[in-house]
Amino acid sequence: MIEIHVPASKSITQRALLIAALSARPCRVRNPLDCHDSEAMRRGLRQLGVGIDDSQPECWIIQPPAVFSVPSQRLNLGNAGTAVRFLAGLAPHVPGIYVIDGDKAMHTRPMPGLLDALKSLGVDIEELGNAGCPPIRFESLGPEVSSSRPQLVNTRLSGSSQELSALLMSGCRNSDGLEIEISGTLPSRPYVAITIDVLASFGIKVSWQADNEIRVFPGTPQCDEYVVEGDWSSASYPLAASWLTKKPVSLQNVNDESVQGDSAVVRLIRQLDEPGARRMDLGDTPDLVPTIAACALFSSEPTEITNVAHLRIKESDRIGGLVNELSKLGAKIEEKPDGLVVYPASENLRAATLDPTNDHRLAMAFGLVSLRLPKLDIRDRDCVAKSYPSFWEMLELFR
């Protein structure tokens, strides 16, 4: 039995850091994930005047400021989508002008719904690059003025659930909270559930009684100590490795009762052994798509993955990336507007060089394929540090 200690959740770490920065008193965040994305979040929060002691890897101490500082330089957050959107969401509470920027890939990742909502809350916004994408200039008169604005916003949030999460976390500090009417179809809903769960741990109430209406009640978050649970997105990789190699695995540091949507990976991998072609709607669990696609190559029946058009605006176009790169192996992959179909190809695959285009989830999916194609060459291997720094060491346990 291979025992794997699953890394802490990146999604929960990012939310805990942001909410702790909005709190009334210091918070100890235990078992955080130290990765590229959380480093970008900490860097940005420090520029906004948040005190962060991360000298002890197992416990970071977050000291919220009385008032957020106005950064003297751009917040350059690389390709950390959560950091970009969550720190943009703070704009109503920052008394002045600041610019959020990212790397070349982030310059093509839009957040129009969030920007429209912030404008309705009184933030002056100037888009300095592609429409709806960083770099973006924010100007606000600060919390006293923003709290007097109407606290009902109607916005289209169809690109990323991170936009809604950013509004919920920031909105709790408005004097009347924030009520959001959502137009369009919201993807990745379980990630909003994660946000609500972390807010609840900090004493903040959120009501989501209708599909298109959600309200965060006013309050100042308070939590002396918050423990980050293990990451089900990361857990998908050892579970998939176990399925591919038939080596049993035991996972440590995961919560079977977690609100994380990616806990569905246990059920999804089990479906790969069921007879007949299968159709999987992964709209709520898009991070599992590369994992399932990698395994589906070695299943006995075709696997269709649907409702994941939003994968095209992640760190890369993940649908196009999976189709283009896995096809190099001789696999038959059919691309669709909102997904893909993977046909079994285990007996016909050949080794090749695969390029994940610096996308951590594609690199890890290609790593899973390498368990069955040992001579596979994968570029940009270090990009896994975005979410799972010890991924390659974990994978070696299954060889």
Instruction: Render pLDDT for 38-49 as a digit per residue (tens, 0 to 9).
Output: 999 999 999 999
Give residues with Cβ within 8 angstroms of 27, minimum separation 6: 16, 20, 61, 62, 64, 202, 223, 224, 225, 226
| pLDDT higher than threshold 90 for residue 346 | no
Give residue 144's pLDDT: 56
Domain 232-396 has CATH 3.65.10.10: yes
Q: What is the pLDDT of residues 302-317, one digit of tens each?
A: 999 999 998 998 889 9
CATH superfamily of 7-219: Enolpyruvate transferase domain (3.65.10.10)
- Residue-range domain boundaries for the chain: 7-219, 232-396
Q: What is the pLDDT of residues 143-196, one digit of tens each?
A: 654 444 547 888 777 668 999 999 999 999 998 899 998 887 778 889 999 999
Q: CA–CA separation, 299 vs 296, rounded Å? A: 5
Q: Are 369 and 363 in contact (CB under 8 A)?
A: no
Reading phi first (left if > 0) and then psi (alpha if -120 to 50, else beta), residue 143 is in alpha
Per annotation, catalytic residue among 262, 287, 355, 359? 287
Q: Are 34 and 57 in contact (CB under 8 A)?
A: yes
Which of 81, 310, 293, 83 is closest to 187 using CA atoms? 310
Average pLDDT in the 192-216 region?
A: 92
Q: What is the pLDDT of residues 50-100, one digit of tens each?
A: 999 999 999 999 999 999 999 999 999 999 999 999 999 999 999 999 999
Exposure letters 347-373 (e unless 16+ CB within 10 A, then b): eebeebebbbbbbbbbbbbbbbbbbeb
Q: CA–CA separation, 230 vs 147, rounded Å? A: 36
Mean pLDDT of the chain: 93
Give residue 87's pLDDT: 98
| pLDDT higher than threshold 80 for residue 7 | yes
Two tokens, residue 328: 């190099």
| Domains 7-219 and 232-396 fall in the same CATH topology | yes
287 catalytically annotated = yes
Q: Are 168 and 196 in contact (CB under 8 A)?
A: yes
